[in-house]
Each structure stands twice: as C-alpha cells, then as structure tokens.
Amino acid sequence: MASSTWSVPALADEVGSARRAAVEFARAEGVPDLRLEDLRLAISEALTNAVLHAFRTQDLPGTVTVTVDVTPDQFVEAVVRDDGMGMSSRSDSPGLGLGLGLIASVADAVEHRLPADGVGFELSMRFRFDGT
C-alpha cells in the first residue's frame, strides 16, 4: 500500500495546496482520472468543513491533516482529520450544510469518527478505482 500525509494550518488559504498534493499523489499511484475528480471534490469539502467548523471557538487555527492510501486491491482512501472541537450542530453555520451529503454522493463509503486519541474529528472516504 502506498500512503502519504500532509498537515497544514486550518486556514482557507491552505485548502488548495493540501488538496492538490493529495490528488497528485493519488494520480502518481495510478488512480483513474474519473475517481481523481471525485477524490478532489471530497477532500476539498472535508477540508473546508474542518476549516469552517472545527476551530470556531479558538482564536488561533489548529491543524488539518489529509492522509491518502492507495491499496493494491484498487481502492483509494482519504482521511481528513482536524484537532479541533469535532463535529456538532451549528445554527450559525457559514456554509449551506451540503458538504457531507456531497461527499457521500461521490464516495463509495464514508465514515466519520472520533480519532483514536480522542481529539477532533476524522472523516474517512473510500473510492473504488472502477467506481462501482
């Protein structure tokens, strides 16, 4: 299995560079173009959600981390993690509330969970190369 990880400050300006690095890694590992587009969209939504929501009670941004694993059985998995306050309802949301639904519509499997160390939020998105 090929794997790579990128950590960036949870700032809107950092979303693009982390997304590009993750997608380029997946491309270099042989992920087909159609799945790369789904991966790009899902990572972008997940990173944006973390930036907008995970650190809203903090003065300074925390960190978001993207890990991409490409498996020999033709799956690519992306995990976006933050070290913020996790996921909770928000009446003052600056977004439209469509991000997780959009991710679920392009990924073959989505799982959200508390990270092993109990800090923040982790979103796992899995994509089959053949899109089935």
Every domain of the chain and the residues it spans: 2-128
Distance in angstroms (rounded) separating the CA atoms of residues 108 and 103: 9
* Residue 76 CB neighbour total at 10 angstroms: 27
Counting residues of the chain whose pLDDT is more than 90, the rounded percentage is 71
Kindly tell me if the per-residue pLDDT of 31 is higher than 60.
yes
Q: Look up residue 4 and give its two tokens.
A: 């790579």
| Stated pTM of the model | 0.90
In CATH, the number for domain 2-128 is: 3.30.565.10
Residue 55 pLDDT > 90, yes or no? no
* pLDDT single digits (tens) 79-123: 999 999 866 554 555 554 567 889 999 999 999 999 989 899 999
pLDDT band per the 50, 70, 90 thresholds, residue 57: confident
CB 102 within 8 A of CB 41: yes
Phi first, then psi: give them for residue 63, nearest 5 degrees: -125, 140
Q: What are phi and psi of 103, to 5 degrees?
A: -60, -45
